[in-house]
Structure 1
Amino acid sequence: MEITLKLPPYTLGLKKNIFYLVALMLFLSSCGTRKYTVKSDTKASKAADAMSNLKSKQLYRFITDWTGVKYRFGGLDKAGIDCSGFAFLLEKEIYGVTLPRISRDQANVVKRKELDNLKEGDLVFFSFGGNDVDHVGVYLNSGFFVHASTTRGVIVDDLTLPAYQRVLVKSGSVN
């Protein structure tokens, strides 16, 4: 036994209109209809430029391997690392230099240099909590450095930002 359902004529037109409306919405929302551009002056593009301009490809690989690793006070591995631990490992693996483990002690073995004279691999020290050094990063180039941020983990950052300029207390070379 076969049952046929007869719909009023206006229903077919409504279905056709809904179909076209859905098709139009899908077309307009598709990825291919949008164009995305990256401004060459954004912080991210400048950080990418600093990374691409590194002289040491080994340093480039080290940073990309550690980028995004979470901050952990006293940490020294991929489960979490702190700023002085990151500088300690980077200097040892890339440059063969053994630094003290604590940022304050690292600052004591660095020969002071002006910001304009920093070279790839030099260290930059900060005091966020008063007079003593309590943070360290490794200078890259073009005003960028890499460090283990307490909130963002291992990241390439802009040393020229006022937040860093206000608390920068020393910069220099290990050699």
Structure 2
Amino acid sequence: MTCIRRNAVLAVIFPILLLMASCGARRHPVTSNTKAAMAADAMSKIGNKDLYRFINDWAGVRYRFGGLDKGGVDCSGFAYLLQKEIYGHVLPRRSRDQATVVNQRSESNLREGDLIFFSFGGGEIDHVGVYLNNGFFVHASTTRGVIVDDLNLPAYRKVFTGGGSVKNITR
């Protein structure tokens, strides 16, 4: 009797375990509208490969006010270093001063490498990023370090002040 009962239990449990295992192994497609996927897509569409390498090299470097190296960098320091290394422009050091050396463009006409500015404090410009494409930009976030972000996020939309290309400033 015990042998028959054990076989009956196994006959019921085994198919259930098989069904559970097959459900767990099912692959779910990654949706292309996640923030990370959209940022990766923006990175893949960068035309300037030196810019792509620069961003990859600095990605994740922590934020440090006044910082200008891989030990920590602030937003204006990151924009300063990127513009100097990739485009040969020497910018002022502070974001509000960087805003004075750009040829303003409408948001719909922003191009790869343009500086974009924000006013989180409600007054003067206090944050800068570098526009990439399709509404994405790279910047040194105070909480997440150097990162590619979406300009269309509400946190950025409400404080975005404009942007444009750097005037002909050379080394």
User: Which residue number in structure 2 is paired with residue 40 of structure 1?
Assistant: 32
Question: For residues 119 and 153 of structure 1, what CA distance do their matches in structure 2 show?
Answer: 23
User: Any idea what SS the aligned residue of 1:112 has?
Assistant: strand
Question: For residues 29 and 77 of structure 2, what CA distance do their matches in structure 1 show?
Answer: 37
Question: For residues 26 and 70 of structure 2, what CA distance do their matches in structure 1 show?
Answer: 37
2:76 partner letter: S
1:121 aligns with 2:113: yes
1:57 aligns with 2:39: no
Q: TM-score with structure 2 length normalisation?
A: 0.84
Q: Deviations over 1:133-157 (max 9, x none)?
A: 0000000000000000000100000
User: Any idea what SS the aligned residue of 1:125 has?
Assistant: strand
Question: For residues 67 and 29 of structure 1, what CA distance do their matches in structure 2 show?
Answer: 38
User: Which residue number in structure 1 is paired with residue 91 of structure 2?
Assistant: 99
Q: Deviations over 1:88-144 (max 9, x none)?
A: 000000001110111010001111111001100001000001210000000000000
Please point out which of 150, 159, 173 is paired with 2:165: 173
1:136 aligns with 2:128: yes
Please point out which of 162, 168, 172 is paired with 2:154: 162
User: Which residue number in structure 2 is paired with residue 3 of structure 1?
Assistant: none
Q: Deviations over 1:62-102 (max 9, x none)?
A: 00111111100001111110000000000000001110111
Q: TM-score with structure 1 length normalisation?
A: 0.82
**Residue identity (%):** 66
Call closer, same or farther: CA 1:29–1:132 in 2, change over 3 Å: farther
Cα RMSD (Å) of the superposition?
2.7
2:156 partner letter: Y
Cα deviation, residue 34, structure 1? 4.3
Cα deviation, residue 45, structure 1? 1.2
Question: For residues 80 and 47 of structure 2, what CA distance do their matches in structure 1 show?
Answer: 20
Runs of 4+ displaced beyond 4 Å: none
Cα deviation, residue 170, structure 1? 2.2
User: Which residue number in structure 1 is paired with residue 76 of structure 2?
Assistant: 84
User: Any idea what SS the aligned residue of 2:64 has?
Assistant: coil
- Whichever of the two has the greater Rg, that structure is 1
Cα deviation, residue 161, structure 1? 1.3
User: Which residue number in structure 2 is paired with residue 148 of structure 1?
Assistant: 140
Question: For residues 147 and 89 of structure 1, what CA distance do their matches in structure 2 show?
Answer: 12
Question: For residues 31 and 162 of structure 2, what CA distance do their matches in structure 1 show?
Answer: 32
